[in-house]
């Protein structure tokens, strides 16, 4: 009887899993956190229905959690990452981290590690975040976003040279990534190398109006400097 109840419970969870996946597909909730995604398009009724569905899923998980082998049977680890992202959008970071951990329990997932790291970075737990980004990179060596975020942490910790190494690796993987190029440009600006900075800003200027303004500012400074050097040499 007990084993039959477990089978029934697992079937219910698989059904809920399918329904949640369909709703997340419609909302655009993927494994990657989308900074511009909003749940505001849900009506209050739809939001309540989704909340109830998730609560049922969580209740079912609690009943089988004591037997880890059940979690490895028929569950989609990617759904757990997406559930984590749902709670990320809701601002419930502790619940989001729990789902990322569950995903990694089923099978290690680079997005589960990466998204966990993003939360830890937001919470200023930089060492732990850096480690999580490293775990994501271990699973996905070409994970340019994780390299870029590691560089951000190194910059905050006062290690710009190490950060630049990470950024150059990130740029090799994704040459036109805006954040990577901005950080590299900032490094060169701080070291008085405006020409190098302009190269990286011009690679992404079409994506960001603020970058266009920065390019104009640097070009004016460079032009003034060139005229000054030219006059100095004539003397």
Task: For residues 26 and 93, give the distance between their C-alpha atoms in angstroms, rounded to a whole number.
Answer: 23
User: What is the reported pTM?
Assistant: 0.86
Share of the chain above pLDDT 70, in %: 88
Q: Which two tokens stand for residue 182?
A: 């901005």
> If you average pLDDT over residues 199-216, what whole number do you get?
75
Task: For residues 48 and 37, give the distance between their C-alpha atoms in angstroms, rounded to a whole number.
Answer: 19
Q: Which two tokens stand for residue 201?
A: 């800003």
Structure confidence by residue, pLDDT tens digits, 161-198: 999 999 999 999 999 898 999 999 989 988 888 888 88
Structure confidence by residue, pLDDT tens digits, 92-136: 999 999 999 999 998 999 999 999 999 999 999 999 999 999 999
Please choose, from the candidates 106, 21, 95, 123, the residue with its C-alpha nearest in 3D space to the C-alpha of residue 71: 106
């Amino acid at each position: 009887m007990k084993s039959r109840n477990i089978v029934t419970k697992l079937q219910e969870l698989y059904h809920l899993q399918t329904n949640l996946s369909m709703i997340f597909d419609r909302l655009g909730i993927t494994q990657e956190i989308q900074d511009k995604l909003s749940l505001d398009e849900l009506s209050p009724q739809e939001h309540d229905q989704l909340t109830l569905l998730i609560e049922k899923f969580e209740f079912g998980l609690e009943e089988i959690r004591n037997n880890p082998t059940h979690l490895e049977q028929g569950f989609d680890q990617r759904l757990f990452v997406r559930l984590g992202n749902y709670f990320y959008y809701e601002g419930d970071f502790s619940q989001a981290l729990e789902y990322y951990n569950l995903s990694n329990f089923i099978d290690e997932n680079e997005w589960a590690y990466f998204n966990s790291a993003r939360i830890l970075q937001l919470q200023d737990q930089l060492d732990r975040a850096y480690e999580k980004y490293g775990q994501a990179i271990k699973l996905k060596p070409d994970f340019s976003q994780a390299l870029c975020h590691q560089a951000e942490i190194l910059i905050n910790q006062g290690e710009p040279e190490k950060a630049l190494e990470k950024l150059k690796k990130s740029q090799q993987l994704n040459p036109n990534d805006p954040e990577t190029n901005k950080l590299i440009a900032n490094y060169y600006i701080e070291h008085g190398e405006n020409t190098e900075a302009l190269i990286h800003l011009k690679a992404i200027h079409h994506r960001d109006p603020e970058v266009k303004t920065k390019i104009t500012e640097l070009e004016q400074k460079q032009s003034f400097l060139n005229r000054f050097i030219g006059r100095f040499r004539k003397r």
